[in-house]
Amino acid sequence: MSRLALLVILAVPAGIVALAQACGASVQSINEGNVRFEHCYRLDLDRNIAPSHRLSCWRQWAETYAYGQTRDRVEHARERVRHLAAGETSPPGLNLEDAKNDAAPPADPAEAPAPTSLHAPPPPTAPAPEPTTLPGAGPDAESGPKPAAECAAVCDDDWHACQSDCSDEATGTGYLCDQCEPDYRACMAGCFGSKPD
């Protein structure tokens, strides 16, 4: 085998592996970005950290760790770099006034209860609907006979008679036990106007 063929045979799988690993951000790089983001955010909240150190942290995060991160984090980092570069050293705060004005007030304070446990499902926010019953149904409705009850009773009597004839060898009727069930099915199908199975 020539050297060129050997080179191609070895280079193609290596290229495929390299391309597969190069598609998208790796889990490790995303995790490093998350950890570094939280570090910079903690520095922002600590008044004892120099503003230049906070600015350096956010710049490094935006340049190095932003790949694969969510848009809100990238925008937050850019905003912090702008504010710190402009000399604003106050930590990021929650602007609750704008959030109150933007969000519609809930109709009922119990509409969104606080979670009780990390592993428990959220509590229900609306009462369960009342079960509905059809008109003429339910416990107050008059209970009449079941559909085709008289016909079914005749089929039931015939089945019992067939079974007793089958088990009583002294009668000598010769009726086979295997025939009782198909006869019963045919009888019941006739009661409801359908074909037997």
Instruction: Note the pLDDT of residue 36.
Output: 94
Q: What is the mean pLDDT of residues 84-107?
A: 68
Give the Cα separation of 73 and 161 in Å (integer). 81
Range list of H helices, 23-172: 27-45, 51-60, 71-85, 96-102, 149-167
Instruction: Note the pLDDT of residue 57.
Output: 95
User: What tokens does 149 get?
Assistant: 């009850």
Give the Cα separation of 180 and 185 in Å (integer). 9
pLDDT in tens, 20-78: 566 666 888 889 999 999 999 999 888 888 999 999 999 999 999 988 899 999 999 99
- Ranges of each domain in the chain: 13-94, 149-192
Q: Which amino acid is at 69?
A: Q
Greater model confidence, 24 or 181: 181
pLDDT in tens, 115-160: 677 787 776 666 667 776 665 555 555 566 677 778 888 888 888 8
Give the Cα separation of 131 and 68 in Å (integer). 49
Judge whether 54 and 43 are in contact, CB under 8 Å. yes
Picking from 36, 119, 49, the residue whose alpha carbon sits closest to that of residue 84 is 49
Instruction: Note the pLDDT of residue 165.
Output: 72
Greater model confidence, 196 or 185: 185
Q: Record the pTM.
A: 0.40
User: What tokens does 82 get?
Assistant: 């702008």
DSSP 91-147: PP---HHHHHHHSPPPSSGGGSPPP--SSSPPPPSSPPPPP---TT-STTS---PPT
Instruction: Note the pLDDT of residue 186.
Output: 87
Q: What is the mean pLDDT of residues 94-109?
A: 56
